[in-house]
Chain A
């Protein structure tokens, strides 16, 4: 099996001179193809910084990051843009859909940017729409649909390019529990049936329990990790809560 993310000794320091704040310290992280990984930690633990670095929209102060075989630290701005376009998919807490485009247009946007031919583009669009059950709202605008539908649209957009890695930042943060469950089930199916590699950052133990592996970070360093293996989601959920209790800090009240 291929390695999708290979992060070595990732450090990130903000500021300079006397007022240096260290956000990440020597993080090692490996994610294999077909895995689903959740990163958890209290507020300010550096998990969003880590996600931004893996998403290539921020760069580490030191260390090495190889994604899908490409060393992203050696790339220039132009190359990073096309790398994000071709190999990464994003889902954000606040959906990040474009208001002026219909659901369908939002979904095909990455393909349009990649200048895919129109036939193939239409076919991909209908494939992902079926997968996320949003065929009926393709011609609607984002303001006309519900939060859950918006997040499915965002996920459709994220996977329409068949990315090597799907990155999600608090994907269930703005959803009610029913929509969140539906959405997490969809992601799980995607992971199990299509083998899409997923990495999400979350506060939500429930969302994390859907992943095959949960990594905890605290104060910018790896704290511990849980592997689901053959146990049920319910057991995983309990274990995640146990670790969070030990971790303390802001994580508790978020659960």
Chain B
């Protein structure tokens, strides 16, 4: 019998033990393959305006995915090897050389990894169609995807996993060489001490987390403020969460054990004391999972909220369906003809927008766009009557009446400027060789011009406009609003073609498409990574709890003998496992809501993140519920096997 045969026999004989490891390997291969194959998918690259950006996002994301997978495979391999240390010890005791044992384990790892690779790629091929369809749906494309097999993807996945297998095998080698035979005969756990509580640390954790939350609710105005506040939030929540798991939870558990009436009831004291003893060894795991899952939830919610509001932001960026600068050479008429002839999208409003382009000195203004000298920022000046006509054409309620030298600034997109901040500020506008000093009296919410950085659109009185128009010639924008502008693909494409390089032509459709694509890719990638990440953390807790279950088999055997029913044991196990899954879940959820609140505070996302957080939080909850049920079942089976 060769060593290879022994390895094969081992796998066959202990299939149940190997199954968990095998399944987690298969899962990793499958997920990674799906992701890589998306990059190679023709159905997706063909349906996109900008497929390079998709490639870039997907390949960046797949690097993160490799890291997740590596940690996941590494973790499950470590668990699996540790579980088999007794067996290794036995071989050593029987006189097998370490090198031989290591080689045998290597063969086993090799056989299983190859099986996982093949099965994973097979399942991945089946499922990649589903994920292609989901992505196409998110990109608002016709959902048609056939089965595609990508040799490149298979090659990439195989390469990555062969490297991973080699690394995990080396880890196995290391464990075997480090293993001391005497450890086999020593008691597994001796002299574990009950944890001491530090009230100072417990109090500090409350203070730090409260500080983080409080900061999230504080309004921020300056860029520096953003940096400071987010540092406070991250440090406060990070350190606070660590101390929470290290001290506060332990303190609360001990407090609950002082409540004798409940503590001495049924096997509550078993559950509490088990948690109390083990939570300390789990501090790092729980902290990491809670923090990373709150970041994941945040990222997914942000991505989802962009997706959710991309139509709205396209409307802000392109208030009219088509806007172009009027020019002398007959193109205007041609463009106008094109727009009017599109019978499916009748024109609701057609309007001319004269605007003066010049520079302004913003040194004494509350906001200075980056990348420009503050004393020479390009601005656009519009008369109040033009603004009001456009506003009524677009169905806005807002009307402006600046008098004399008072002006109103249309709030630049993606800023948090408020009327209070700008009121009374003075800006001076360059008019030929002179400068005109103007006082800002307020902020207008609604936009009428297409977005273009630095996006400074200033509404001035009609009289001032006509005065300035003498020295600075106004140019005119032709603006059209049509019905059903989300589907104006043909007209928009034709218009851009007409304008040559497309610079003078701004269409809603193109902006909208770009937003849909960016948001779709983001939400897909983030959602995908989020799911994988949550699944990975769920498995980490699962493996962790199984290790605990193995360690506490004896205790539960005793309990059964002194008359605790199976039902009570299951209930106690369910409670303990609930605690371990529930803590990071709740902390992660609350943290992420607070972080989103802070992000909404700086207008990075709209304040309406209720739906995104509900959806991503709900997915989180569902995944954890599934893991929870599975863990309780396995845990219960492990400890009830005794008697």
Contact = CB atoms under 8 A, between A and B. Distances in A.
Interface of A: 55, 57, 77-78, 81-86, 88, 90, 96-101, 105, 108-113, 115, 118, 121, 141, 143, 157
Contact of A108 (B264, B559, B568): B264
Contacts of B274: 100
B567 A88 contact: no
A247 to B, nearest CB: 29
Contact of A143 (B192, B270, B568): B192
Interface of B: 189-194, 260-261, 264-270, 273-274, 276-277, 554-555, 557-568, 643
Contacts of B561: 55, 57, 84, 90, 96
Given A82-B565, A85-B564, A113-B562, A99 B264 contact: no
Given A82-B563, A90-B561, A111-B264, 16 more contacts: A55-B561, A57-B643, A78-B567, A85-B563, A98-B273, A99-B189, A100-B274, A100-B555, A101-B269, A110-B562, A112-B267, A112-B268, A113-B562, A113-B564, A115-B266, A141-B193
27 contacts: A57-B643, A81-B565, A81-B566, A84-B562, A85-B562, A85-B563, A88-B563, A90-B561, A97-B558, A98-B270, A98-B273, A100-B194, A100-B274, A100-B276, A101-B273, A105-B273, A108-B264, A109-B269, A112-B266, A112-B267, A113-B563, A113-B568, A115-B266, A118-B261, A141-B193, A143-B190, A143-B191
A121 B264 CA distance: 9
Contact of B260 (A110, A118, A157): A118
Nearest to A84: B563
Contacts of B566: 77, 81
Nearest to B554: A96
A110 B273 contact: no
Contacts of A112: 264-269
Contacts of A84: 561-563
A247 B105 CA distance: 48
Interface centre among B190, B193, B555, B567 (most CB of A within 10 A): B555
A96 B561 CA distance: 10
- What 3 pairs across the A-B complex have the smallest Cβ distances? A85-B563, A84-B563, A81-B565
Nearest to A111: B264
A98 B564 contact: no
Given A100-B276, A105-B269, A141 B563 contact: no
Contacts of A81: 560, 563-566, 568
Contact of A98 (B276, B555, B643): B555
Contacts of A57: 560-561, 643
Given A98-B555, A100-B277, A115 B565 contact: no
B547 to A, nearest CB: 16
A131 to B, nearest CB: 19
Nearest to B555: A98
A118 B190 contact: no
Contacts of A105: 269, 273
A98 B266 contact: no
B555 A83 contact: no
Contacts of A97: 558
A141 B265 contact: no
Contacts of A88: 563
Contacts of A55: 561
Contacts of B558: 96-98
Contacts of A157: 562
Contact of A78 (B261, B264, B565): B565
Contacts of B273: 98, 100-101, 105
A143 B260 CA distance: 23
Nearest to B261: A118
A99 B553 CA distance: 12
A78 B566 CA distance: 8
Contacts of B190: 143
Contacts of B267: 109, 112-113
A85 B269 CA distance: 16
Nearest to B272: A100
Contacts of B265: 112, 115
A85 B564 CA distance: 7
Interface centre among B269, B554, B567 (most CB of A within 10 A): B269
Nearest to A167: B561
Contacts of B269: 101, 105, 109, 112
A174 B60 CA distance: 62
A78 B560 CA distance: 11
Contacts of A77: 565-566
A175 to B, nearest CB: 18
Interface centre among B191, B265, B266, B557 (most CB of A within 10 A): B265
Contacts of B270: 98, 100-101, 109
Contacts of B568: 81, 113
Nearest to B275: A100
Contacts of B567: 78
B553 to A, nearest CB: 12
A197 to B, nearest CB: 17
A78 B564 CA distance: 9
B550 to A, nearest CB: 15
A143 B187 CA distance: 12
Nearest to B187: A143
Interface centre among B269, B274, B563, B564 (most CB of A within 10 A): B563
Contacts of A85: 562-564
A71 to B, nearest CB: 18
Nearest to B643: A57
A125 to B, nearest CB: 10
A86 B565 CA distance: 12
A100 B561 CA distance: 18
A83 B273 CA distance: 26
Nearest to A88: B563
Nearest to B556: A98
Contacts of A96: 554, 557-558, 561
Nearest to A110: B562
Contacts of B643: 57
A110 B563 CA distance: 8
